[in-house]
A and B are shown apart, each in its own frame.
Chain A
Amino acid sequence: MSSDRLAQPADVLRPRHVGAPIKRTEDPRLLTGRGEYTADRKPDRALHVAFRRSEQPHAKIIRIDTTAASATPGVVAVLTADSIAGDFKPVIPFSRMSSYYATPIMPLASGKVRYVGEAVVAVIATSRYLAEDAVELIEIDYEPLGAISRAGAAVASDAPLLHEEAGTNVLIAREFKKSDVDADLSAAAVRVSGRFEMTRKAPLAMEPRSYTAEYDARRSALTLYTSSNIPGIVRDALSESLGIPGNRMRVVAPDVGGSFGSKGSLYPEEMLMCIAARKLGRSLKWTADRLEDVSSSSQAFAEIVDAEMGFDSNGVAIALKADVIGDIGAYSIYPWTCGLEPVQVVSFLPGPYKIGSYRGAVRGVATCKPPTGPYRGVGRPISTFVTERLMDLGAKALGLDPLEIRRRNLVRPNEFPYRIASGIIWDKTGFIECLEAAGQTAAYDRLRAQQTEARKQGKLFGIGIASYAELTGIGSRIPAAPGMPINTGSETAKISIDSTGAITAAFGVASHGQGLETTLAQIIADDLGASFDDIRVVQGDSDAVPMSTGTYASRSAVLGGGAAKHASALLQNKIKRVASHLLEANNDDIEVSGGKAMVSGTDRFVTFKQIAKAVYSDTRTLPVDAREELTASYTYDPINGTTAAATHIAVVEIDPVTCFVHILKYVVAEDCGQIINPMIVDGQVHGGVAQGIGAALFEELVYDDDAQLLTASLVDYVIPSALEVPNMDVVHVESQSAVAGGFRGMGEGGAIGAPAAIANAIADALSPFGADVSILPMTPERIFQLIKQSKSKAEEKSR
């Protein structure tokens, strides 16, 4: 595909690691059962924790009787909010946003419960089996306060208040405006609109949440092993909450079995584990079972969007208006706040398009459900779904092809950087290039011909397109969540060569499947001039670097990678200085590659091992002032960050009898800038699309009117299996970004484009019925109802 990268002479001469499909460093241990996930930790004589969780959606806690539970064999302690009240400070998800109420985060429910699944009592026993036995014996009396199950009900004037102190169930409200949207809509040649919804979804990492708090009596220190992708943020929060300095409070994310956002916030259980471990002076283990994980981990989407778009007669979108109501659940999460998901919807609704005027209003309302939080794509799966549906509705009204209408509206190469109507700035990215590449790869014209044939045979055959753009690798100028006081804009790399010549590179990022141990080592191998196999990447450990926040918001390749590049350059300069002494040559004549420093154009070289020996051990070789420690540290901040974009094309056929959607073809053309490892990039796209397929067709957390979860097992909450995910064609448009290395973040995109592309394909397949797709997932039941309604409407008309 097109590329504006120019090969440098050095690229040709040296073996390059960046850009190569290097096999992952992580794999040998993970393929042989030698990985270590949090639940695999074996601390000395660990005790096990089990939680009694609320079965009430909203109720005052009248009485908790733990007598029988405490008397059960093996039980060491039973803790309630009262018994740990003096052991911590609540954690507040602060934000400078106006019209926002920050609900405090407590380790156990205090005074009342606000959702089914909220932890109320912790039992600590010698085995998990015994702890769970004792949980059953706890008696809790509740006084029901009235369930709030739907966002609409939460804003009713007579609704009970979930947080009385807030005085309202609307915990966040915001509005973005540009120009006079009503005037522009009135002047539009064509107006299209709809009420769109994406239902509640579980991120559902295969590893349930798991925590092991290890107590070190010698130093009165705690180490929390956690299945988290933000160990640094968790460390800082726990340090503050428990009053333990960072040098005695360490948080480690070892091997982590996926997150997709669900392990990217501070959890009450993480607080409780540390509080209890300190209180008892013992190490503690807890791993959620699947029911607990589904019913207490942060959830996704749950938004309803009323939106309208106006086009001029040429098919150019001129105005967009949207009202969003987000069902944010019972609490605001730390550190992202309850604004993260719903506010991002209105931030990104204009998408990659040059829409002139815009008004996006959003309210996030509290309901009796687990909090919504980060989930792959954050806000953009639904903003893309809405905008891409409106684009297709516009195309239909104007008689334009869906590919053509996007061509007329996408920001074009000469127009970057471009500020869209919501205020987001896109840097130069291959928007149009992705659209054309996707069309070409999918053989779009041929697909349309195929569709005509299929329709003649009565088949429900549909083609769907979705284009989107996302901010990735954002720097300090834009907080990852609105108004949040934590710095999410920088990352540190600390690279050292020890006295044996081995290289250790420490980062604050925290891989949970992305293969950062491999990709970051690829960058260092090139920029330091090291041998790939000599590099050990340490990540996911709050002790590794002084400050870090972790891996989220498609930031690790950009921020971690940028830090790696800069730290590598600093360390290479030190290596060159030592080598110039040892080889009696000019600094400028030294070239470093493959773990050797050599004099250019000669066969004279020293290895990193020899350099390390000269610096650290062999004191006669170098003058004292030349024995600089072989370490370098760099904290990189891309300030604004960068953009990533893609176009997805889905081809589906719907079985008119079963109403099952079969995906016949799936194409992704994406621009993630300079690719570090094409194998890993493709894997991220595949996985993201698979989750998008789940969101489009299967996955829905169904809560009844009493806010009880009806889909808490993997039998009822269906995620795609190998049978439902097709092979995908992924093509890359590698336009270099402005950040260090030219990288763009790309882990989320698959999940952003797929729901919209599939929704458009289903709508296209159902167009003979004139049915519209406005809610996801499009389950067979919903498709059946759509077809039925359309048929009865048609019958009414013909009467």
Chain B
Amino acid sequence: MAVKVSVIVNGTRREVADLEPRLLLSDFLRDALGLTGTHVGCEHGVCGACTVLLNGDSVRSCLTLAVQANGCEITTVEGLGTPETLNVLQTQFREHHGLQCGFCTPGMLMTGEDLLRKYPFATDEEIREGLSGNLCRCTGYQNIVAAIRSAAAIRREQTQ
């Protein structure tokens, strides 16, 4: 059996037919759409590297089937800023050295975006709680927390 999946990814409608129903959303994004910014770190929903926004909420794309996303709006790391114009959160990750190898980073950014939108006044403790489903092996988290704290402050200022 083959299925067709139609989604809006980073603002653009994408339609792919002839997909296996068992195809994971992570593999769909990476292989069918060529969006390799979403990384696959564990394939069992623990590390969070594959986190994307599905209709605005962060989800594990390795635990989601592509067909489940049919008709949904998806944002991946490619949908944030560009190398020339990083968005606020990306800029703060760079300023605070919130990334080293960069493998967990797309997942951290997507979780961070979700966190910033839902909890703009999050304390450090709450930021750490919010990130506890995203594993990083390089940074020791300290600078990631600082980056999110700082991005939250900048966004609060911008919305005032």
Contact = CB atoms under 8 A, between A and B. Distances in A.
Q: Which of A39, A207, A256, A728 has the most CB of B within 10 A?
A: A207
A35 interface: yes
A31 B105 contact: yes
Contacts of B93: 27, 31
A596 B97 CA distance: 30
Nearest to A680: B97
Contacts of A725: 140-142
A21 to B, nearest CB: 8
A767 B105 CA distance: 41
B16 interface: no
B36 interface: yes
B112 to A, nearest CB: 11
Determine which residue in B27, B84, B141 has the highest number of CB atoms from chain A within 10 A of its CB, and name it: B141
A602 interface: no
A715 interface: yes
A32 B80 contact: yes
Interface stretch (A116-124, A165-173, A509-517): A509-517
A26 interface: yes
A470 to B, nearest CB: 19
B135 A714 contact: yes
B59 interface: no
A688 to B, nearest CB: 8
Nearest to A511: B101
Consensus secondary structure, chain B interface? loop
A722 B97 contact: no
Interface string B81-121: 11110100010011101011111111001000000000000
Interface stretch (B1-9, B41-49, B65-73, B151-159): B41-49
A691 B44 contact: no
Given A37-B103, A129-B22, A679-B97, A722 B138 contact: no
B106 to A, nearest CB: 6
Contacts of A514: 100
A30 B105 contact: yes
Nearest to B23: A129
Contact of B137 (A128, A205, A683): A205
A790 B103 CA distance: 44
A28 B94 contact: yes
Task: Assign chain A's interface to a size class.
Answer: 35 or more
B145 A31 contact: no
Given A205-B101, A257-B103, A714 B44 contact: yes
Contacts of B95: 23
A207 B39 contact: yes
Contacts of B41: 206-208, 257, 290
B35 interface: yes
B36 to A, nearest CB: 4
B78 A687 contact: no
Interface string A685-704: 01111110000000000000
Given A31-B109, A34-B83, A689 B47 contact: no
Contacts of A208: 41
A23 B94 contact: yes
Contacts of B83: 28-29, 31-32, 34
Interface of A: 23-24, 26-37, 39-40, 42, 128-129, 204-208, 255-258, 260, 287, 289-290, 512-515, 679-680, 682-683, 686-691, 713-715, 719, 721-723, 725, 727-728, 750
- The 3 tightest CB contacts between A and B, nearest first, are A33-B37, A257-B103, A513-B101
8 contacts: A28-B83, A39-B40, A207-B101, A258-B138, A682-B97, A687-B138, A723-B129, A750-B140
